Amino acid sequence: MGRPHQIDAEWLVAAIDRLSEIGRDQNGGVTRLPFSLDDMKARDLVSEWMRESGLSVVRDPAGNDIGTLPGSEAVSAIAVGSHTDTVPNGGRYDGALGVLVGIAAVRALKQSGTVLRHPIEVINFVAEEATLPGGTVGSRAMTGALAEEYLSRTGWDDRLISKLLLDAGIDPVGLLHASRAESPPCCFVELHIEQGATLEQRGIQVGVVEGIVGIRRFEAEFPGSANHAGTTPMASRDDALRKAAPIIESVASIAVRLNTVGTVGTVRVVPNAPNVIPGHAILGIEFRALESALLDEATSLLDTACRAAGGHIKQVSNKAPVRSDPRMLLAFDRAVAECGVTSLHMPSGAGHDAMCMADICPQAMLFVPSKDGISHAFHEYSSPEQCITGANVLLQALIALDSTFI
């Protein structure tokens, strides 16, 4: 038995297919809302595959399933994982792929008789999608970030989150007692579909994620005077929406200038009637970037533009960017070279469980291409070859990480 070079491609492709049958919609999409019957059924099947593959599996107090392969030394585990819940009528790959490639990598290690120094954990997190408030429930529970009030919020139907968990056979207070902040894994790796079109458009096989972007959201308010749309001459109007309008272009040009992304996603007009001059207009704006300094600059440019247009901005939320661990990126680069595949260092524009795990351990992510950049939809697709390539890079990454961390 030699060095494990390849995962069992047939097993991985069959597992993706089999898992997508649970919660399958008529149009080919998948609906596994967190803690629903189908979600729990899928979780049980994945845990069964973990056991078959030689992992010992525990369900932590929050419901996260953790399969462990022992290492040769008494050190903390290298953790790899993602989630198997989906959005309504979601795809087959978002989340599920990241869990299944972890199992495939462990199987390859076992089959070649390779024992790494570190134990390997494969984690199937609960409730990553934002079908529950804020999403990333399992990873937030694991980092100790959830407070008791979360249990009395409402989930994807009218049940409280505490009831949703109870109905799935999980003691709700477990969400508050699943923290591993005191004994974290030595690092966390998540492979995920890109959910954007960069890799596909550039014909690149694997994305090495440098970090998860920070998100800053604003409301820009513009005052005016509501008045009759027929009897008020153009020259004597104070139209709030006309003041706000140029800001839509300003946001786009600020984003282009800073080489990042910015969006005006909502427009609220008061009173919002076709025969009334807008008396008040509020734009919902966000910028995303990997550097806090860029977000600061975007904020100041937006502030200047809004003041000049007769309005003002209010910051409504601020999620800081999360940088990937540089040692892990080096290990990923080695893995990419070992596999002889093309790769690109890139940011993640979406949040993931890895972003939460960054609170307790070093983390980094790998991306595989998404066809047409589509996700959270039934036609989400990554080809078997793309998934297999990603899994092989992950396998080599685990081997590289084993010598990266003490």
Nearer to Zn ion, 279 or 351 (CB): 351
- How far apart (Å, rounded) are the C-alpha atoms in residues 203 and 146? 40
Strand 322-323 to 206-212 pairing: antiparallel
Asked if residues 187 and 269 have their Cβ atoms less than 8 Å apart, the reply is no
Least gap, CB of 354 to Zn ion (angstroms): 10
The string of DSSP codes covering 242-263 is HHHHHHHHHHHHHHHHTTSEEE
Nearer to Zn ion, 34 or 95 (CB): 95
**Among the listed residues 119, 95, 51, the one whose alpha carbon sits nearest the alpha carbon of residue 190:** 95
Nearer to Zn ion, 240 or 346 (CB): 346
Least gap, CB of 131 to Zn ion (angstroms): 12
Least gap, CB of 85 to Zn ion (angstroms): 9
Least gap, CB of 139 to Zn ion (angstroms): 11
- How far apart (Å, rounded) are the C-alpha atoms in residues 205 and 196? 13
Listed in sequence order, the residues at least 6 apart from 201 whose beta carbon sits closer than 8 Å to its beta carbon are none
Binding footprint of Zn ion on the chain (CB under 5 A):
94-95
Nearer to Zn ion, 94 or 121 (CB): 94
Q: Which pair of tokens denotes residue 111?
A: 């089959």
Nearer to Zn ion, 196 or 262 (CB): 196
Nearer to Zn ion, 163 or 376 (CB): 376
- How far apart (Å, rounded) are the C-alpha atoms in residues 343 and 366? 10
Least gap, CB of 95 to Zn ion (angstroms): 4
Least gap, CB of 32 to Zn ion (angstroms): 12
Three-state SS at 380 = coil
Order across the sheet with 312-319: list the strands.
261-270, 280-289, 214-223, 312-319
Least gap, CB of 65 to Zn ion (angstroms): 16
Nearer to Zn ion, 355 or 360 (CB): 355
Q: Which residue is nearest to Zn ion (CB)?
A: 95
Least gap, CB of 94 to Zn ion (angstroms): 4
DSSP secondary structure letter of residue 199: H
Nearer to Zn ion, 140 or 280 (CB): 140
Q: Which pair of tokens denotes residue 217?
A: 């959201």
Give the bridge partners for 217, in sequence order.
Answer: 286, 317
Asked if residues 78 and 185 have their Cβ atoms less than 8 Å apart, the reply is yes
